[in-house]
């Protein structure tokens, strides 16, 4: 009898099939449960390892025993004579074998459970929630009249800006708290996600010719309402409600304010009711996605507020943010000058507005003026406003200046203070990823996915880190999670990259063409599309057109920000692929001058050198890129290096063999 026939007779093939199917289903269930719980997705490997370890014991069991009618019996015809009696010593051996198998499988499953528990414990890093920490949510309009929406949003923004400028408090930024609907979550979930002691929320609705505003302050530790009040106000009385509520909140916190903080808290933004109303409506426009129309409307409201009160610093701050967002939307340099002017005016009127200093620093950083950005944000920090947002901005500035150790230290400090501020963890993760420290980046991004499980960008960032670490399985899974939450350009791009590395260029090009339709004014969208078209027969004209568009957009980016190494390294690749060799060399030198040990820049240098016909220099750049952390699996999979793949040096640096 052949081995295959014997396996069929003993039912091993059927058993193997059902075990594989069951194992696959278990992995899918684990994927869903881990993504929605506190266990990092990378812990799925423990489930897979357990399934692999249990498999041999399942085969041994299937070979020796027969299960029918719910009874486990030795199939005597399999090894021994069927004439063996029940009291034969071999029956005792049956029990011994079953006991050993049971103990072995139990040990594996217990070990897996311990590992998963450890992963969960590590993921739920014990964080002491500060007693001075709080999150503010928009006050919800309970009426059918949408015209009142701006009041609830504006009052919440004003409370945040008022309290966030007090150095004694830790206030979650509105970018973190506002996307959450507090009624959709329990207090415990919000406490865990935001890592705050207090939640501030409220409602409003019209009552006759007045507006009733209710406000609650909830202690997340014991679920007690430490503040709950209701006010009936006319429209012209709304001006003072945020100031009054800010003071009520402070009075219920276990903090002692300095004289400077008390003076700031009692300072009135404006005494003009109409100006304040225009300001609230401008703020309400800024909560919408940035479009030409919404930003133009926001600008009109802020300018109307300033027409009525030229000393209204908060309105200048809103106008500053509007111009900055407009620049980030269309890269029109006229908005840079306008933003700098109004930001400066806001700080002249009130230099304690940290949100203005952060916006101005961001503007300087985006336009290649890192030194100006550092001076601006350092003034805020030196004044005692040492918070997650200010330290994150400082760390980003250090990173742009290639001051790696200082940036690392500032990011670590920012994340320690961040509590529920996922933006700090995100920026730290991006910094680590750019430095080739992919496993450390994964830790940061996994934390963000736990804080914001409905955030598609969080899963996309995590997927990139997995891919760069060589873990393509987890990368594909998290990209699918990102696309399931939102059909965003980055997730589409990264999904296309997976097809690209697998050699499915047609599928990759279809996806990347769609990306250029989603974000038509972004250079990397056109550059990625062009790169893939190089491997699609008959699309040379489309490829050249895509490269030209990518070059146009990337050149505009470097004109505004000479320190944008990402644009420079991409330009070098585009130039090289169009045969513009001198420009390619200049662009890659510009990028290297900005960040000498950046593995991504060294990788792109190798791409350029291959196109220029310098394989040995390309191999040297690749070796340095790998040394600084660029994933060897990506280097090996990139078709751009096909001409190098038979070179023994290339095989060694990609780990294919050792000499």
Calculate ∠ Cα 156-159-165, nearest 5°: 135
Q: Which residue has the tokens 């930001």?
A: 343
Of 270, 259, 179, the residue nearest 485 (C-alpha) = 179
Instruction: Report the pLDDT value the prediction gives residue 81, as an integer from 0 to 100.
Output: 44
Residue 619 to residue 213: CA distance in whole angstroms: 67
pLDDT tens, position by position, 520-538: 989 999 999 999 999 988 7
Phi-psi domain of 51 (left: phi exceeds 0; alpha: psi -120 through 50; beta: other) = alpha
Query: pLDDT at position 78, please?
Result: 45
Mean pLDDT of 449-460: 87
| Residues ≥6 apart with Cβ < 8 Å to 460 | 478, 479, 482, 488, 490, 491, 494
Q: Name the pLDDT band for 334 (thresholds 50, 70, 90).
A: confident
Whole-angstrom distance, CA of residue 473 vs CA of residue 146: 46
**Nearest 10 degrees: CA dihedral of 367, 370, 375, 378?**
110
Which of 120, 140, 152 is CA-nearest to residue 46? 120
Q: Can you give the pLDDT at residue 124? A: 46
- Mind listing the pLDDT tens digit for each residue in 186-244? 898 888 888 899 999 999 998 888 899 999 999 999 999 999 989 898 877 776 788 88
Which pLDDT does position 571 carry in this prediction? 96
Q: Is the pLDDT of residue 91 over 50?
A: no
Query: Where residue 175 falls among pLDDT bands split at 50, 70, 90?
Result: confident
Rounded to whole angstroms, how far apart are CA atoms 474 and 376?
41
User: How many residues make up the chain in this entry?
Assistant: 659
| HSE toward the beta carbon, residue 471, CA cutoff 13 A | 19
Domains belonging to the chain, first-starting first, are 3-123 (no CATH), 126-266 (3.40.50.10070), 269-350 (1.25.40.10), 505-560 (no CATH), 565-659 (1.25.40)
Q: Cα(596)–Cα(610) distance, rounded to whole angstroms?
A: 20
What own/partner pairs with CB < 8 Å and gap ≥ 24 does 94-102 have? 94/65, 97/64, 98/65, 98/72, 101/57, 101/60, 101/61
63 token code pair: 């070979």
Number of H helices, E strands in the chain: 31, 8
DSSP 356-403: HHHHHHHHHHHTT-HHHHHHHHHHHHHTT---HHHHHHHHHHHHHTT-
Residue 342 CA from chain centroid, whole number: 31
pLDDT confidence band for 25 (50 / 70 / 90): confident
Place of tokens 């040379």: 540
For residue 76, what pLDDT is reported?
A: 47
pLDDT digits (tens, 9 = 90+) for 131-154: 889 999 999 999 888 878 888 888
pLDDT at 560 over 60: yes
The DSSP annotation for 592-608 comes to HHH-TT-HHHHHHHHHH
pTM above 0.75, yes or no: no
**Distance (Å, rounded) from C-alpha 354 to C-alpha 377?**
8
What pLDDT, in 10s, does the model give residues 460-513? 999 999 988 878 778 888 988 888 888 888 889 988 888 888 888 999 999 999
- The C-alpha atoms of residue 630 and residue 267 are separated, in whole angstroms, by 52
Among 51-55, 84-88, 596-600, the minimum mean pLDDT is found in 84-88
What percentage of the chain reaches a pLDDT higher than 90?
A: 33
- Mean predicted lDDT score pLDDT of the chain: 83
**CA nearest neighbour of 157 among 180, 129, 177:** 177
Q: Which residues, at least 6 apart from 113, have a Cβ–Cβ distance to it below 8 Å?
A: none
SS3 of 423-435: HHHHHHHHHHHHC
Structure confidence by residue, pLDDT tens digits, 62-80: 666 665 555 555 554 544 4
Fill in the DSSP letter of residue 452: -
DSSP string for 173-186: -HHHHTTS-GGGS-
Distance between CA atoms of 214 and 238, rounded to whole angstroms?
A: 13
CB 387 within 8 A of CB 170: yes
Give SS3 for 564: coil
Examine the pLDDT at 390 and tell me if it is beyond 80: yes
Angle made by CA atoms 32, 38, 43, in degrees to the nearest 5? 70
**Spatial contact of 630 and 603, defined as CB atoms under 8 Å apart:** yes
Ordered DSSP codes for 86-117? TTSHHHHHHHHHHHHHHHHHHHHHHHHHHHHH
Contact 320, 343 (CB under 8 A): yes
Q: Calculate what percentage of the chain has a pLDDT beyond 70.
A: 81
Q: Are 585 and 608 in contact (CB under 8 A)?
A: yes
Reduce the DSSP state of residue 224 to 3 states and report it: strand
417/620: higher pLDDT: 620
């Amino acid at each position: 009898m052949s081995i295959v026939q014997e396996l069929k007779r003993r039912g091993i093939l059927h058993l193997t099939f059902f075990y594989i199917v069951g194992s696959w289903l278990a992995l899918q269930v684990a994927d869903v449960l881990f993504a929605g719980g506190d266990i990092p997705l990378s812990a799925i490997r423990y489930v897979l390892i357990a399934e692999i370890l249990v498999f041999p014991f399942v085969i041994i069991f299937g070979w020796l025993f027969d299960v029918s009618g719910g009874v486990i019996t030795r199939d005597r015809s399999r090894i021994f004579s069927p004439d063996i009696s029940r009291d034969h010593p071999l029956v005792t051996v049956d029990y011994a074998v079953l006991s050993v198998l049971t103990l072995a499988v139990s040990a594996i499953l217990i070990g897996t459970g311990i590992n998963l528990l450890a992963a969960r414990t590590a993921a739920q890093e014990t964080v002491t929630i500060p007693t001075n920490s709080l999150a503010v949510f928009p006050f919800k309009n309970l009426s059918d009249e949408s015209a009142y929406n701006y009041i609830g949003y504006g009052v919440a923004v004003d409370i945040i800006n008022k309290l966030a400028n007090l150095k004694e408090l830790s206030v979650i930024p509105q970018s973190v708290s506002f996307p959450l609907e507090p009624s959709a979550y329990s207090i415990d979930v919000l406490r865990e996600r935001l890592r705050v002691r207090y939640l501030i929320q409220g409602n409003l609705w019209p009552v006759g010719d007045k507006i009733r505003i209710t406000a609650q302050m909830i202690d997340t530790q014991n679920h007690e309402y430490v503040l709950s009040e209701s006010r009936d106000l006319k429209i012209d009385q709304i001006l003072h409600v945020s100031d009054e509520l800010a003071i009520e909140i402070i009075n219920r916190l276990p903090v002692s304010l300095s004289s400077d903080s008390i003076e700031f808290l009692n300072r009135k933004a404006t005494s003009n009711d109409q100006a304040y109303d225009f300001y609230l409506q401008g703020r309400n426009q800024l909560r919408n996605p940035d479009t030409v129309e919404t930003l133009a409307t926001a600008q009109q409201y802020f300018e109307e507020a300033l027409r009525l009160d030229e000393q209204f610093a908060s309105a200048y701050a809103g106008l500053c943010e509007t111009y900055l967002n407009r620049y980030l939307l269309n890269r029109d340099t006229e908005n840079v000058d306008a933003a700098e002017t109004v930001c400066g005016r806001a700080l002249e009127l009130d230099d304690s507005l940290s949100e203005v200093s952060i916006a101005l620093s961001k503007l300087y950083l985006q336009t290649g003026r890192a030194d100006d950005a550092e001076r601006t944000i350092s003034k805020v920090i030196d004044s005692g406003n040492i918070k997650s947002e200010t330290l994150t901005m400082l760390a980003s500035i250090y990173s742009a200046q290639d001051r790696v150790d200082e940036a690392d230290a500032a990011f670590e400090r920012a994340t320690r203070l961040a509590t529920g501020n996922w933006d700090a963890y995100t920026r730290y993760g991006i910094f680590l990823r750019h430095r080739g420290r992919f496993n450390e980046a994964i830790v940061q991004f996994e934390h963000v996915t736990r804080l914001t499980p409905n955030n598609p960008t969080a899963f996309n960032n995590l997927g990139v880190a997995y891919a760069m670490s060589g873990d393509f399985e987890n990368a594909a899974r998290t990209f699918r999670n990102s696309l399931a939450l939102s059909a965003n350009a980055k997730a589409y791009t990264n999904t296309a990259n997976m097809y690209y590395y697998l050699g499915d260029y047609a599928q990759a090009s279809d996806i990347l063409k769609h990306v250029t339709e989603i974000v038509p004014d972004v250079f990397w969208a056109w550059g990625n599309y062009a790169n893939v078209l190089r491997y699609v027969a008959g699309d040379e004209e489309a490829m050249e057109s895509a490269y030209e568009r990518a070059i146009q957009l990337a050149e505009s980016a470097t004109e505004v920000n000479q320190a944008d190494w990402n644009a420079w390294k991409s330009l070098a690749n585009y130039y090289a692929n169009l045969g513009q060799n001198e420009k390619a060399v200049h662009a890659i030198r510009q990028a290297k001058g900005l960040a000498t040990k950046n593995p991504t820049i060294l990788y792109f240098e190798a791409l350029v050198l291959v196109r220029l016909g310098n394989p040995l220099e390309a191999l040297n750049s690749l070796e340095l890129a790998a040394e600084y952390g660029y994933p060897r699996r990506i280097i090996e999979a990139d078709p751009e290096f096909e001409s190098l793949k038979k070179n023994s040096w290339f095989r060694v640096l990609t780990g294919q063999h050792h000499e």
